Structure 1
């Protein structure tokens, strides 16, 4: 074995398959290596994949051959003794399907194998021992989700150092299908929590392939419901559920309900995402700010005015502890169901002339745009973190928006009476609202996302609202 001077990571022809040259220190007594060093390896590009199990395989004689198996987890493979010839085949759907990489390994080399990439090993020396870290616990049930391809597949044409006719193989490995007959390992599933809400409905429409669950199926306010739910099949969890009754949250019962759903429930969701290595997408609110800034950036410190905003801020802080997370901060959300625009359209259609607050400012955010932003962040490889998302264009008051709705419905602009927040709140029990809710969009736009103009989306939305 030739000692390696420094740790390094090299990509291969298979996306995500990485070869790691290990720093092996040798002397007259033998050698020592850091077989897995999270900080150094992650800094060099190995995913922070969170291993939970270490397996060791020992082969008595050269020629023992295993594979080709693709498993539903990531693994980090290295040798403690001997040498092997390794072959990896991409068995994930997409343009890389069938790509093959081969390499000879000794104790000085390790390989990071992503989920869905098949691996096979042939021992080249007697008494070879290799180990591998995996980021899920093995079970008989998990083996049902393996994908296999035959070691002797003609299209792969793997040049095994010891011909397979002379190698030691299991009957199962000999019987695996040829590449042409392999069904690619599907990607981990996407889960949408809160499918009954405005955003949940938009996400369900945009992602017919996703599993969308309502509160009846997964209730974040009920710890037992979260504990009983099986998150194992999912690679992405989108939390579109929340307690959003801003005024009711100021009552004794409402306060408890808001904290149960927006904080305790989110904490349980974060725990599940951490355990199952899910990317968690969480939808937040401008209510985490006091509204004193005319436009809010993602790094503005929390300053919530009321209970709802306090619970959303606490939920954001919990989600941010996950390495793989996106927090989408929104404002003035409009989608299917009950909302401000639908209410104003109904008032206009019924001949009612309302007073509407004119000293709170922001931009409408349509659920179709939020769904589009979520999809963009997940598919573009954008850095994890917090992103503002709303409609683009001019900042408007609630009264401005109501007036636009009335005019679109054939009513006069003067049928909407602008009133102050103080006047509107006389005789009512209302939670405090941010005066300024507009969100800066530069960070999201820098990822390549183009928000729709709020005014254009408002016109299109009103066409879907029946008189």
Structure 2
């Protein structure tokens, strides 16, 4: 059971049941609530009442309690950007009390009895290289005159001069792709990684050791093997599976181990396109190796408890894409043969990036979400014509052909879904409304 608000965001005081008899007492000190990964269990013995320690803000969460005696616990919020930054709280901790202390909240205590044993669980191991923050123990009104204060604690600065603890970071893979570039404008403080910085095909143990994951809150996986036709070759099949299926599995392992949010971007190609619109509840039915690898990646990412699987389609943004190709051909006065029997909604990379950040900001329910631009579904040739018009050219430069005719002219291709329209009801219910794709196209080409 928890007590009322402490005035510090995320700081929670819990009342514990203590069962006593003639032998002494027993309590369940921590049984998975609040949920936290336990990496280290520390014990602080304090010989004399009045012994005072603090105030220390570490880059990890703590769960504090006592094994013997009583303490007065005290806390100061030193988290950069926290809505309760600078707030203070104190309370007595006996055998029937425990406190969850969020990362970046300075922690201190004073022994109220001789022979007090103070214990705390941490979700990261102590490291001399970690980024710590401190403020003076003199910020607290202690119930007893502080004694036995360490020389280091005497040197801590007042709150007004304390260095805040920076927030946990976000890691974005696929930094140089269209989505990665769109996310840069929205997440300027995130770590953006191209393949040379963070290779999803590396062994899982290397990725686990590559970073101090305890300092992250979120992974956004925008990396993908996107060569749909190339995935049908022997070499391409292995590459697609390594990046699109095994890569998300490794990220899910990291995210689960460190209790991170995992955002994984998937595709309309997980469907066979036999229905007019695809909902989040539809079971994947891929037609191609690429589609199968993306469906496997979805399943792997969903193994992470805190996941968002984001399905999208026909993305256009900064980089090579269908819209850019059509606009270039139009500006050159060239013509294009475009299939007329594949329909869907294009996705402006800015819409996709904003939708992902929105899910994280509003803390939407975990699960699968479709995110494309809005507006009417259209066939590929209709979209190409719209791109020609946006580029100031005559749409008659686009010749509609069937998929079969296109392949007769240009050679066989991997199978693609005929219907790629993704429903947007679920994402819109969270409060996000994407741009009409025709408006987005005009902004993009203009």
Which of 15, 31, 40 pairs up with 1:37?
A: 31
Distance in 2, Cα, partners of 1:105 & 1:317: 44
**Aligned counterpart, 2:210:** 229
Which of 131, 143, 157 pairs up with 1:177?
A: 157
Distance of aligned partners of 1:15 and 1:227 in 2 relative to their CA distance in 1, 3 Å threshold: closer
**Aligned counterpart, 1:194:** 174
Give yes or no for the alignment of 1:452 onto 2:435: yes
Q: Within 5 A, what are the aligned runs for 1:418-457? A: 418-426=400-408, 428-457=411-440
**Aligned counterpart, 1:21:** 15
Structure 1 stretches lacking a partner, 5+ long: 1-6
Give yes or no for the alignment of 1:162 onto 2:144: yes
**Aligned counterpart, 2:133:** 147
- Report which stretch shifted further, 16-25 or 410-419: 410-419
Q: 1:378-436 CA distances to partner (integer Å, 9 max, x unpaired)?
A: 22222222211110111111111011111222333332222222222225221111111
Give yes or no for the alignment of 1:111 onto 2:99: yes
Contact 1:223 1:265 (8 Å CA) reproduced: no
Q: Within 5 A, what are the aligned runs for 1:235-250? A: 235-250=217-232
Give yes or no for the alignment of 1:353 onto 2:335: yes
If the length of structure 1 is used for normalisation, what is the TM-score? 0.91
- Aligned-pair RMSD on alpha carbons? 1.7
Distance in 2, Cα, partners of 1:282 & 1:272: 13
Q: CA deviation at 1:228?
A: 5.6
**Aligned counterpart, 1:265:** 247
Contact 2:355 2:371 (8 Å CA) reproduced: yes
Give yes or no for the alignment of 1:211 onto 2:197: no
Distance in 2, Cα, partners of 1:228 & 1:173: 33
Q: How many residues align?
A: 442
- Report which stretch shifted further, 68-77 or 199-208: 199-208
Contact 2:2 2:12 (8 Å CA) reproduced: no
Contact 2:253 2:304 (8 Å CA) reproduced: no
Q: Within 5 A, what are the aligned runs for 1:301-450? A: 301-426=283-408, 428-450=411-433
Contact 2:317 2:350 (8 Å CA) reproduced: yes
- Report which stretch shifted further, 377-386 or 393-402: 377-386
Which of 50, 53, 56 pairs up with 1:66?
A: 53
If the length of structure 2 is used for normalisation, what is the TM-score? 0.95
Query: Secondary structure at the residue paired with 1:235?
Result: strand
Which of 74, 91, 96 pairs up with 1:87?
A: 74
- Report which stretch shifted further, 84-93 or 287-296: 287-296
- Report which stretch shifted further, 83-92 or 296-305: 296-305
Distance in 2, Cα, partners of 1:83 & 1:429: 76
Query: Secondary structure at the residue paired with 1:152?
Result: helix
Contact 2:390 2:441 (8 Å CA) reproduced: no
Query: Secondary structure at the residue paired with 2:419?
Result: coil
Contact 2:264 2:309 (8 Å CA) reproduced: yes
Distance in 1, Cα, partners of 2:306 & 2:350: 23
Query: Secondary structure at the residue paired with 1:31?
Result: strand
Distance in 2, Cα, partners of 1:90 & 1:131: 21
Q: CA deviation at 1:9?
A: 5.4
Query: Secondary structure at the residue paired with 2:334?
Result: coil
**Aligned counterpart, 2:110:** 122
Distance in 2, Cα, partners of 1:137 & 1:177: 25
